[in-house]
Amino acid sequence: MTGVIRAGFVGLGNIGKPMALRLAATPGLDVHVYDVAPEPVAELVAAGATAAASVAELAATVDVVCVMVRDDAQVRDVAAEVGNGAVLVVHSTVAPETPAALAAAGMTVLDAPVSGGSMGAADGSLAIMVGGVEEAFAAARPVLEAMGSKVVHAGPIGSGTRMKLARNLIHFVAFTAVTEAQRLAEASGLDLVALGDVVRHTDAITGGPGAIMYRPTTAAIPPDDFWHGVFDHVRTLGEKDLTFAIALADELGVDVPLAREALPRLGKGLGLA
């Protein structure tokens, strides 16, 4: 990094504060912060950042404004004060159309939601998914790389948000599946904490749901394709284990609707006929 980049951060909550602290600890960044709560601002000032009295004051002194606030309405309020000068980087997870609407109003906007939670924010290991024009991405990239270990330019404006929503669909559907598994395990007299330990251990080895996400398309797999054999094996194992799990659930009187939906959908979803 050459020269000094002036970076602003608005929204110093559970994830925003550790993100901003990462910026304050990065050489070559002149960091300015704003939040309605005085305590996190004081913590950032102690870490070397400069406090701004308003979003407008902050935006007037920086090149890039990062925003991590609660919802679309707060993002729009911040954007109205930022105006058309600095690059506005929206880290909040908003509706897919919100970043494009801000860009259409004349602002230079990147939608850049994050994945990794407060732990990833604290240690700088966030995944940051970015949508927007290449020039804006290039301008903000040094700032983004100070906060995340994986920064992906997903495509035009709105692409970062769409990637985050696809990623979190996995997250929360999987959480719902876990609740089914916990009910089944509990009805079987198993230790749920021990089961959780096993799940985290094996997911760290296999990659969890992301282990099947290497193909560039969801189209059907030709029989002579390498992935056909791999996924046919996955389907065989999956259908066997789902069948056994559903039978056990029936025996124990446990409701497992996601498992029942998954059984007939697994093969087709993998791209197999």
Instruction: Give per-residue pLDDT as tens, 43-64.
Output: 999 999 999 999 999 999 999 9
Same domain, 179 and 147: no
What average pLDDT score do residues 234-261 get?
A: 98
Catalytic site includes residue 150: no
Place of tokens 């096993």: 198
% residues pLDDT > 90 (the chain): 97
Same domain, 58 and 182: no
Same domain, 130 and 174: no
Residues pairing with 66 in the sheet: 9, 89
Q: Report the distance separating Cα 255 and Cα 257, nearest Å.
A: 6
Same domain, 210 and 191: yes
Same domain, 110 and 221: no
**Per-residue confidence (pLDDT) for residue 85, from 0 to 100:** 85
Contact 131, 159 (CB under 8 A): yes
pLDDT band at 228 (very low <50, low <70, confident <90, very high): very high
**Per-residue confidence (pLDDT) for residue 1, from 0 to 100:** 42
**Per-residue confidence (pLDDT) for residue 2, from 0 to 100:** 56
Look at residues 131, 157, 183 and tell me which one is the last residue of a structural domain.
157
Which member of 17, 150, 164, 240 is catalytic?
A: 164
- Radius of gyration of the CA atoms of the chain, in A: 23
